[in-house]
Amino acid sequence: MDTEVVQERGPRLGRWAAVGVGVLALATTGAGNPPMEVDPWETLEYEGSGDTVLMVDQHDDPRIATVTYDGERHFSVWAVDPRGENQDLLVNTTGRYEGTVLYNVLVGEELAALDISATGPWRIELKPLADTDEWGEGEDSYSGTGDDVVWLMWEPEGFSVLDISHSGERHFSVWAYADQDRDLLVNTRGDYEGQARLPAGSFLLEISAEGDWRIDR
């Protein structure tokens, strides 16, 4: 990684790490052998084509996975734990895909492999949370397309009301993460327009979508 970037984001990584001791790093409290240590700044990059069981450097720190796929048929990515059991379905779609998803967020979760079902080429980057997209303090809205993970650079006082909209035909959900909890703000299918309460202390949003979405505060 570029030295300049490391210096710029160094103080912020401490913030992510401190927060991770709460909800996101609850995985570290699970029983069993400790995972391999992965440099907290390191991005693990993989690419291939077709069905693949991809062994990765085992780790339990919360991270994001940026995934791209160039194919016309079904595409899915399962996170697999050290026992060889499915841990979380990160991606499940048909056709081309580009998105960012969160993993290693629940108690006992620890990534050891990715089970990929595909008929075309794919690329996966396992990135530190420091690379998460930011919703700036001075911004009243945030919008995107498809799956994404968003770090809130502002903190809700009490609870905040969010106006949320989605234009698409398939599943749409929004999770909010706080220090010791997470809340499902929206869970629906198809076009959506409505309001949801953002709990106090929330710092991270996880959006699952296949269409355009917008969140206003």
If you count them, how many residues does the chain have?
Answer: 217
Number of domains in the chain: 2
Query: The domain spanning residue 109 has which CATH number?
Result: 2.60.120
Same domain, 53 and 152: no
Q: pLDDT digits over 50-98, tens only?
A: 999 999 999 999 999 999 999 999 999 999 999 999 999 999 999 999 9
Is the pLDDT reported for residue 27 higher than 50?
no
Lowest mean pLDDT among 10-19, 157-166, 196-205: 10-19
Cβ count within 10 A of residue 57: 14
Q: pTM for this one?
A: 0.82
In this structure, the answer to whether residues 20 and 97 fall within a common structural domain is yes
Statement to judge: residues 66 and 96 lie in one domain? yes
- Report percent pLDDT > 70 for the chain: 83
133-171 burial: b if 16+ Cβ within 10 Å, else e: eebeeeeeebebebbbbbbbeeebeeebebebbbebeeb
Q: Give residue-wise pLDDT tens across range 101-158.
A: 999 998 889 999 999 999 999 999 999 999 999 999 999 999 999 999 999 999 887 8
Residue 109 belongs to domain spanning: 3-129
Rounded CA gap, 112 and 87, in Å? 10
